[in-house]
Structure 1
Amino acid sequence: MILRSLRPFWLAILAVHSLSSMAAGIPTLQEVTVVNHSRDLIGEAESASEGTVTARQLATRPLLRPAEVLEVVPGMIVTQHSGDGKANQYFLRGFNLDHGSDFSTQVLGMPINLVTHAHGQGYMDLNFLIPELIGAIRYRKGVYDAEDGDFATAGSAKIDYRRHLDAPFAAIGLGRNGYRRLLGAGSTRLGGDWTLLGGLELMGNDGPWEQPENLRKKNAVFRLSRGDAANGVAVSLLLYKAHWVASEHVPERAIDNGEIGRYGTLSPNDGGKTRRNSLSFEWAKTGEQGFSRASVYAVDNELNLFSSPSGYISGLDGDQHEQADRRILWGGGFKQGWFLGPQWRQTELSAGIHLRQDRIGKVSLYNTVNRQRVETVREDKVDEIAAGIFVDARTQWLPWLRTNIGVRYDHLRAEATPLGGVFNGQNGGSAVAGQFSPKLGAVFGPFKLLGQTEFYANWGHGFHSNDARGATAKVNPRDGAAVQPVPLIVRAIGGELGVRASPLPGWNSSLSVWQMNLASELVFIGDEGVTEPHGASTRSGIEWSNYYSLRHGLIVDADLAISRARFREAVNGGRDVPNAVPLAASIGVAYDDAGSWFGGVRFRYLGAYPLAESGEEKSRAFWMANLKLGYRLSRQLEATLDVLNLFDKKANDIEYWGGACARSEALAGTGGCGSGGAIDGRLVHPLEPRTLRASLKFGF
């Protein structure tokens, strides 16, 4: 059985070996993961809360899920409340980002957040990432950069893949609970200085759940490129497909009273299937007078997700539903920059344009039983266009003073057409919105204080869009009750003061104090097919980030993020924003001196957060640790062991507060369960127990 399951892996090895056979020489394996060093950004950064993370820093990070690479963003928390084929849950700067509603991410120049998505606005599925192929992650927090548009309120990240590998490799990973992963990747030089990179990943996992997850994932990358990100061109084809069975979060009392085990479920056969195929083109040219950047992309995306809204049984047949989304997303951008020289105080002037269209053939919500559709709540066709234009000027006024002044204008237009649903026919129509977003920033320094030190002041406007169905709604699609449409754009205004210093050689430290005002917390609830109003909010916080690169390959990083999130007016008896994490901290130690041993250990702390607006119920704070330990047996062979949840902490990945019913309560009719009622309580999705994963990597 094992040999049979490994058959695709041997094919992958042969493909990688064939791809690399034209390359001259046989490079060593260790050159694959070390590319360059982290930059301290003094003299280059425009704020204290931006940064760049390289492949070197990622290589020694133990990861449970691909999207956890975003935890390199200081203060970012990545969790899951369902199956691992679904987009993760993200938390940053006092935001429960849900599946990405207020954090913008791009991969190879393509936007990942999906508008008007079946499962929630800004749905950001990063399960297609192959961490070993990531070359760099550049992140920014706040609304201060004119190049950032929709969803970039808490921040943004741009993820780039490598354009070549110094050595081709193949890896096989095995672990507890049916985990297996096969990965092969390599690159070869072609004529005309072109390089072709290819990668293939096959993965399966059942997880610790009493209902096996049966996750099956196929992933492929092909990248043809010449030059680099500053001067070059790249064409990338990404192919991804997955299906899985999910164990949703459940009422905690069902675990406490023994109705189900800690890793049990009340709703069988939740889960889904997804695919994402994309083709992208990137071009860049940089010279003495300026630079040019252009990108074009097309994405074919589909999701069928079966869920029980709170992981509970509300009736004898359960309350499972299906959210279906199928779309073609295309777009592109162009940016031109001019270096104006000393007569214009070394001003760098840039201007750009972004265009995007989401052609959503069908976005739907169905009531289901065991994945069989029994009722159509709503079906819609949506066509949504977003265009943005921006101008930015960065000027060095004095040796110790530079400014960044920009403005962005975004125009959104959406057309929603109802296709099905008993009450949904009255919905639909068009919605149009636009917004000017000014951006201001000033940098003071560098000064010879604590080594080299810079001070920053930033302010700006940004926004996130609302679901087009909420912006064109007239009635509740479930019962026909009248509703008010919501704005298509929600404005955000933010400000930040910060400092960045290098107290010792190799030690880079940044400290920032920030505040964000959001005009509305309106969210389209895909589980219900309606928009849920929550009102305006204010968030503020302090963040401290440290990166210390010592000699002999030792790196220490430590981050602390404290935030406060409040509604401006009381909601449901209080002003606390539910699931807004007030305290997050992490510390990591990584070691790799290119010798035999390498690895890293990371500790993460997640503070208790309010579960409801009153603040009376809170989650349980916890800390956990992950470990990666590696050994190079030879120049072409290395072994690694990942120990995830090293100390086997019994905590919860996510906690909510809300109405739910266990199966026994539905059968007995307790609290009105089984006839539309529910019992308020804590809903939890447990942290996965200690998990061991071993891997062998072969170099060619």
Structure 2
Amino acid sequence: MRDASVTSSSTRGFDAQDVASRSYSQPAEALEIDPGLIVAQHSGAGKANQYFLRGFALDHGYDIGLTIDGMPINQGSHVHSNGYADANFIIPELFGAVDVRKGPYFADEGIFSSVGSIRMEYVDRLREGLLSASGGMFGYGRLLGAKSFAVGDGELLAALELNNYNGPWERPDEQRKINGVLRWSQGTQENGLSITAMAFSNHWFGTDQIPMHDVALGLMSRWGTQDPTDGGNATRYSLSARWSQTSASDFSRVEAFAIRETTNLYDDFVYNLVNPLPLNDQTHQFDRRTVLGFNAVHGWKYNVAAIPVETRVGAQTRFDAIRNGFGDSYLRNQYDSIRDDYVKNYTHALWTDTTVRWTPWFRSTVGFRLDYVHGSVDTVLNPLYAPGWFAGAPNLIGTANDGELGRVFTSPKAGVVFGPFHELGNSEFFVNFGEGLREEDIRGALAHWDPAVGSYGPNVQLLTKTRGAEAGVRAKPIEGLDTSLSLFWQDFDAENTFSGDAGVTTYGRPGRRLGFEWTGDYSIASWAHAYGEVTGTHARFRGSDAVQKAAYLQLVNNDAGDPLYPLNLPGNAPGNYLMLAPVWVAKAGVELGEKTGWFGGLYYRYFGSRPLTEDGQIRSSATASLNVRAGYRFDNGWKIQLDAFNVTNQRSSAIDYGYGAFGRQDYLLFPGYAGGSIGVMDRHFKPQDPPAVRVTLSGPLTILDSASALGPK
């Protein structure tokens, strides 16, 4: 969608070469080109990643909006997590543009974009084609072919990707992925149209996070698993269209899409906390959805008293028809049903913004957004399959959570830019303020009954307000150097969390983030380029947690007679730390080489220690990695490339969580355990991958050039 002028210091735009020059081991990691963003994985090579940005643990996509060619990737009211954003289907080699934003300052950003957004666009034309074959350690293999041809008056782009990966785990991931893209387009992004079909299928096993104390005591390997059947499968099929028209005085763009997605997840995070051996605590979650929607924008360029003005008006709508649910399972065989619902989720928005260029060095943008979110939940749960039925548990756990709900939300936006000042390194200064919203899972907003514990409880609001401000500067103090510094603040009225394993949303206290983001990009010479970035954030809850204080006092007094007392105490005291909130994130890289001949690069990534509980007693480890690339580019366009990951063999964590669980190995420590505990409180982690090497051979796909005879060149 056509963007207005850059209105914040943290807005960035990248092209295909920028993405290709970075080092990443999985496709979604290519999104880490966004400064300050961390993309991590805790459960196999097929599950949606975990995202971290500006002091926010964004779960699987709660507040970071991902789109590809105008189509949303985030899935609202998803069975596993609200905003679930499975980006495993993206093909970074096809990127034509990647635009990143942060904060609630943009009128055309709404649901799932209150912290940030990443807009990806594929190329329309790839006449030279691309053939890429990669192989490496731990069973990694990937084959990609892509090429476009002239067909009629337009361009037909076709791409096919095949991928498999086992990983270093005792139970291999056995990931098997197939991915295809077919697009016919005419004209350009500014004046033209396109029709795109995509198809994606992914199957995998997944080693989840494991308890640190069992590894430290030598009871299990850091590459081991608590349940070798964890994993899942996912599919995504889409058909989308784009039409755009631009003239000297106005412009229009319309994007429409239809998406069909399915997800099956088998997870076991607390191991044997509830069910004793030979059972375990695995759950099966399924989500089937059809998504229909469109985005439209029209803009005008005009003068008022000789002052240039640009106004945009847009409309967005989306409808998700969903069937999802979950229950307990054993070895991927579900034996009860906790939730099973038909969900209808609608989001509609009208927005506008106006940019006024008061002088050649001063401009302002004011915007406004109106959102209407509504939907319904209708259970199809058979109470005979509800857990506890034969023990006399109420059979109202489904219908008690049925209903309809709708809410209207308004969000003002404003920003000013002044500069450049040549005497200050061509500097531009930015100030932004905006309000935004988070859409909660509609099942949680309607729920009155917690099916996991069998009790009534309050539901949460459907929409949560966020406010934010940012001040920053971008400058080019010397030739080839582009640098920026941004100071940001963002508040949430409630840090609500959705539990996919219970099907409920939990109230959270208000939260606040304060921080800074620095970036530097230096083109030293035609053969040398360097970049660096640092983000630091102070993230805290506001107010006090009386509920947690009361619960902690009960634990201290052991009122419930917990069989694992006092190992259930650490991390349960009240506090103000925002759990999993990243404090320090840093990335840096150096790339060397001309368009032909030898090339290489070094890539460093640092993900600092984070509090895993609100009292800060359990913290994650800091994660650092260094990747290396070396290769040779031939005159005919082919290249051979070697990528080495984690070359310093850092034995840290890819991701960490703090909670209570009971592993299979814990029976050696507590042989008589029969349930009834909140678990052994500990840091649960997914280890950082060990050193690995991959080799890629890639070049132009010329063998199909004769197909270009189908149409004019």
TM-score by length of 2: 0.90
Would you say the 8 A contact 2:269–2:661 is kept in 1? no
1:335 aligned to 287, 297, 316, which one?
A: 297
Whether contact under 8 Å (1:90, 1:100) holds in the other structure is yes
Q: Distance in 2 between matches of 1:237 and 1:395?
A: 39
- Give distance in 1, aligned partners of 2:143 and 2:94: 14
Residue 584 of structure 2 corresponds to which residue in structure 1?
583
Deviation at 1:545, TM superposition (A): 0.9
1:672 deviation in Å? 4.4
1:180 alignment partner, one of 136, 141, 158: 141
Distance in 2 between the 1:312 and 1:616 partners? 24
Q: Deviations over 1:144-187 (max 9, x none)?
A: 01000011111111000111114112221111111111111111
Is residue 185 of structure 2 the alignment partner of residue 225 of structure 1? yes
1:460-539 mapped onto 2 (5 Å cutoff): 460-539=434-513
Match of 2:237 in 1: 277
* Deviation for aligned residue 1:437: 0.3
**Match of residue 707 from structure 2:** none
1:564-575 → structure 2 map (5 Å cutoff): 564-571=538-545, 572=548, 573-575=574-576
2:400 paired residue among 414, 426, 435: 426
Match of 1:96? Answer: 57
For 1:590, the aligned partner's letter is E
Structure 2 letter corresponding to 1:394: T
Check conservation: 1:251, 1:311, Cα contact below 8 A: no
1:110 aligns with 2:111: no
Work out the CA distance in 2 between the residues paired with 1:177 and 1:250: 20
| 1:164 to 2:125 alignment | yes
Distance in 1 of aligned mates of 2:104 and 2:193 = 29
Deviation at 1:478, TM superposition (A): 2.3
Q: Secondary structure at the match of 2:47?
A: coil
Provide the rounded CA distance (Å) in 1 between the counterparts of 2:576 and 2:77: 28
Tell me the distance in 1 between the aligned counterparts of 2:82 and 2:525.
45
Tell me the distance in 2 between the aligned counterparts of 1:247 and 1:464: 31
The residue that corresponds to 2:689 in the other structure is 688
- Cα deviation for residue 344 of structure 1 reads 5.7
Give me the whole-angstrom Cα distance separating, in 2, the residues matched to 1:450 and 1:226: 44
Could you tell which deviates more after superposition, 231-240 or 161-170? 161-170
**Selected match of 2:116 from 145, 148, 155:** 155
The question of whether the paired residues in 1 share the 8 Å contact of 2:450 and 2:502 is answered with no
Given that 2:631 and 2:642 are in contact with CA atoms closer than 8 Å, whether structure 1 keeps it comes out as: yes
* Matches of 2:137 and 2:271, distance apart in 1: 25
> Which of 123, 128, 135 is the aligned partner of 2:96?
135
Gap regions ≥5 residues in structure 2: 387-396, 549-573, 703-713
Deviation at 1:666, TM superposition (A): 4.1
1:679 aligns with 2:641: no
Q: How far did residue 263 of structure 1 move? A: 0.6
* Aligned counterpart for 1:320 among listed residues 279, 282, 288: 282
Change (3 A) 1:197 1:86: same
Partners of 1:561 and 1:584 within 8 A in 2: yes
In structure 2, how many angstroms separate the alpha carbons of the residues matched to 1:378 and 1:60? 45
Change (3 A) 1:371 1:344: farther
2:436 aligned with 1:435: no
Give the whole-Å Cα distance in 2 for the aligned partners of 1:166 and 1:651: 43
Aligned mate of 1:214, from 174, 178, 183:
174
Partners of 2:100 and 2:643 lie apart in 1 by 26
Alignment of 1:555 with 2:529, yes or no, is yes
Matching residue of 1:390: 351
Indicate how the Cα distance of structure 1 residues 286 and 493 shifts in structure 2: closer, same or farther if over 3 A, else same.
same
Q: Which moved more, 1:164-173 or 1:214-223?
A: 164-173
Preserved contact between residue 39 and residue 52 of structure 2 (Cα < 8 Å): yes
Q: 2:34 aligns with which of 73, 81, 98?
A: 73
Could you tell me the percent identity over the aligned residues? 36
Structure 2 CA distance, aligned partners of 1:58 and 1:474? 46
Aligned pair 1:350/2:312, yes or no? Answer: yes
Residue identity opposite 2:74 in structure 1: N
Residue equivalent to 2:258: 298
Are residues 70 and 239 of structure 1, via their aligned partners in 2, closer, same or farther at CA, if it must alter by over 3 Å? same
Deviations 1:271-296 (A, max 9, x none): 00100001111111111111001000
CA offsets per residue over residues 497-524 of structure 1, 9 Å max, x none?
1111110112111111110010111121
Kept in 1: contact 2:270–2:662 (CA 8 A)? no
- Counterpart Cα distance in 1 of 2:434 and 2:39: 26
Aligned CA RMSD, in angstroms, stands at 1.6
TM-score normalized with structure 1 length: 0.92
Find the aligned partners of 1:235 and 1:245 in 2 and give their Cα distance. 34
CA distance in 1, matches of 2:363, 2:434: 17
Shift of 1:554: 2.1
Cα distance in 1 between the residues matched to 2:488 and 2:272? 39
Where does residue 698 of structure 2 map in the other structure?
697
Confirm or deny: 8 A CA contact 1:250 1:312 kept in the other structure.
no
* CA deviation after TM superposition for structure 1 residue 44, in Å: 4.3
Q: Structure 1 residue 622: deviation in Å?
A: 2.9
Q: Equivalent residue of 1:619, what SS?
A: coil
Bigger Cα displacement from structure 2, 661-670 vs 171-180: 661-670
Please give the secondary structure, in 2, of the residue aligned with 1:132: helix
Instruction: Indicate conservation of the 8 Å contact 1:260/1:266, yes or no.
Output: no
Measure how far apart 1:391 and its partner are.
1.0
Structure 2: distance between partners of 1:247 and 1:173: 24
Between 1:484-493 and 1:417-426, the stretch displaced more is 417-426
Once the two structures are overlaid, the 10-residue window that deviates more, 202-211 or 635-644, is 635-644
Partner of 1:144: 105
Q: Is the 8 A contact 1:248 1:310 kept in 2?
A: no
SS of structure 2 residue aligned to 1:99: coil
- Kindly state the Cα deviation for residue 134 of structure 1 after the two structures are TM-superposed: 1.0
User: 2: CA distance between counterparts of 1:344 and 1:120?
Assistant: 51
* Paired residues of 1:172 and 1:183 also in contact (CA < 8 A): yes
The one-letter code of the counterpart of 1:203 is N
Q: 1:654 to 1:671 in 2, by over 3 A?
A: farther
The 1:126/1:669 distance shift into structure 2, 3 A limit, reads same
**CA offsets per residue over residues 515-554 of structure 1, 9 Å max, x none?**
0010111121101222122211111101101111222232
Distance 1:311 1:350 in 2: 52
1:671 CA displacement? 8.7
2:618 and 2:682 in contact (8 A); partners too: no
1:626 aligns with 2:600: no
Distance 2:671 2:356 in 1: 67
Q: CA deviation at 1:254?
A: 1.5
**Aligned counterparts of 1:462 and 1:697: Cα–Cα separation in 2:** 44
Q: Name whichever of 286-295 and 225-234 sits farther off.
A: 225-234
